[in-house]
Amino acid sequence: MTYQQHTTVDLEKDIILPCRKGATPELSGVDIPERLDFEAELGNFHTLYGTSGNKVYLLGLGDANDSANIGEAFQKICYKRSAKWTNEIQVIAAGLTSEEIKKATIGLEMGTYEIGQLKTKQKDAKETLVTFVTSNDVSAELQEGKFTGDTVNRIKALVDAPANVKTPEYLGNWASESSHSAGYKCTVFGMDELEKQGFDAVIAVGKGSVNTPVVIVNEYMARPGDKIDIGLVGKGITFDTGGVSIKPSQNLHYMKSDMGGAAAVLGAVELVARLQLDVNVVGVVASAENAVDMNSYRPGDVINSYSGKTIEIIDTDAEGRLVMADAISYLLKKYSPERMIDLATLTGSVVRTLGNAAAGMFTNNAEMAQDLSRLGAQVHERVWQLPLYADFESDLHSDIADIRNFSGKPVGGAINAAKFLEAFTESHEAWTHLDIAGVAFGDSGFAKMKSATGYGVQLLLAYIRTLN
């Protein structure tokens, strides 16, 4: 879509009229019935017709409690009705704040996402001009909204892609192409470099697959030579069978989504570069396919790691924390970032705890916890803090190695995974782990099966903006 601003409305063209719950919809020149059967609940819409046969869509924005999520209302109407739009549609934006206009643009852009990219019959591409009618200058909001929605769509396509297409190498190529178009540096380590540098945990996880692992390092340096403001780490397991500790077959096809953390990191670095923010950001993605083969690592094995710590393998299905450990150690050793956030679809435990409402947040930094909680509520990518109590450290004790990768207990799984990662952070004072297993992929009104949400990009962008 293309976005522009205009100060007057054309009453002969299609119009979206946002409506607050409890308020009477009004638009000069449009006859809106007094007794209208329309409740402006978030995402509800009702179609009226103008004198020239044009459509006027009343779009419900809900009440004040829905303000953080009005982008979903615009996403829904675009997804449901854009095929019937002409080449131009107008949004009456006089009653919207600049932040709401940005959210509306993000939502409209996200509403164009087509999940069926591998179907033989594709929908005809359609370019729509969206005109926001307001007297305020909102050009910056429209551009950021366009870039954000487009980037989120791009990472949703990554998460939704099947594993036979989306190999670790594919992720590396995606990042390389992104770096050329958005203007940042991308380095992809293949097997030879992984062995040379000592990414032993990444290699162990990927040993059972014909698709060899990679580590992707993306650098956006607005101030070359200066400190790294933030380092991001993403889990990039392109398919997770569970390895020798194999998963049940039910819903196993959804394990193509086990790289949601990687997608968020790749998207966040791309978006920061597209917006040319005044920050130094490094994103590290450790990507492998956890498969079953005669070369697969096994329960009971002891493996090395980039940090030098030895790890006893209790469960090969606790593989994400292994590749994350190597990525965290690499980031700390090579870049010493001021702050560090890792994202991973790490545990079913966090889904049982928080459902699909929020990511589990683990940190000992009170300022980061407060900022991420506040910003997550604002962009509707919520987080909820869970503890990192020392009580859980004994669960990862190993008699034969420095640490074991799984506690074996039926409770506290998300916390134990976070404690495992914490052991590789070198007591960094500004580290936060986000377990996004419940929010990166799930049911929605935009697909018949579970699909990608694009979670993480907007939260990371909002947080990175506070570092300027």
Contact 271, 192 (CB under 8 A): no
> Does the structure show a pLDDT above 90 at 463?
yes
> Does the structure show a pLDDT above 90 at 407?
yes
3-state percent helix, strand, coil for the chain, nearest multiple of 5 = 35, 20, 45
454 contact partners, CB below 8 Å, separation of at least 6: 110, 152, 153, 155, 156, 159, 263, 267
Contact 437, 383 (CB under 8 A): no
**Between 291 and 84, where is the model more confident?**
291
> Does the structure show a pLDDT above 90 at 51?
no
pLDDT 10s digits, 89-126: 999 999 999 999 999 999 999 999 999 888 888 877 77
Which residues are catalytically annotated? 247, 321
pLDDT 10s digits, 291-350: 999 999 999 999 999 999 999 999 999 999 999 999 999 999 999 999 999 999 999 999
- Confidence at 8, pLDDT banded by 50, 70, 90: very high
pLDDT of residue 365: 98
pLDDT of residue 22: 84
CA distance 177 to 315: 35
H and E: helices and strands count for the chain: 12, 19
Q: What is the mean pLDDT of residues 27-51?
A: 86
> Does the structure show a pLDDT above 80 at 34?
no
* E strands present in 50-92: 55-60, 88-92
pLDDT of residue 265: 98
Taking all residues of the chain, what is their mean pLDDT, rounded to a whole number? 95
Nearest CA to 93 out of 22, 151, 160, 145 is that of 145
> Does the structure show a pLDDT above 80 at 384?
yes
pLDDT of residue 35: 76
> Does the structure show a pLDDT above 90 at 29?
no
> Does the structure show a pLDDT above 80 at 218?
yes
Residue bearing tokens 């000592």: 198
pLDDT of residue 468: 75
pLDDT of residue 320: 98
Q: Looking at 26-35, 52-61, 322-331, which range is the least confident one?
A: 26-35
pLDDT 10s digits, 141-184: 999 999 999 999 999 999 999 999 999 999 999 999 999 999 99
> Does the structure show a pLDDT above 90 at 458?
yes
CA 28 to mean position of chain CA atoms: 40
Tell me the β-bridge partners of 235: 286
- Of all helices (H) and strands (E), which one includes residue 441? strand 441-442
Tell me the β-bridge partners of 393: none
> Does the structure show a pLDDT above 90 at 374?
yes
| Cβ atoms within 10 Å, residue 365 | 16
192 to 149, 268, 372: CA distances (angstroms): 37, 28, 38
Phi, psi for residue 415 in degrees, rounded to 5:
-70, -40
Return the SS3 of 263.
Answer: helix
pLDDT of residue 102: 98
Contact 234, 263 (CB under 8 A): yes
pLDDT of residue 234: 98
- Confidence at 31, pLDDT banded by 50, 70, 90: confident
DSSP state of 246: P
Tokens of 166: 């989306």
Nearest CA to 227 out of 338, 327, 334 is that of 338
Segments in 30-162 forming alpha helices (H): 70-81, 98-110, 139-160
pLDDT of residue 79: 94
Tokens of 6: 């205009």
CA distance 241 to 66: 39
DSSP state of 465: H
pLDDT of residue 125: 75
Q: What is the mean pLDDT of residues 436-440?
A: 97
Burial of 350 (0-12, 13-18, 19+ CB in 10 A): buried
HSE of 189 in the Cβ direction (CA atoms, 13 Å)?
22
Return the SS3 of 434.
Answer: strand
Residue bearing tokens 């990472």: 155
Q: What is the mean pLDDT of residues 76-84?
A: 92
> Does the structure show a pLDDT above 90 at 86?
no
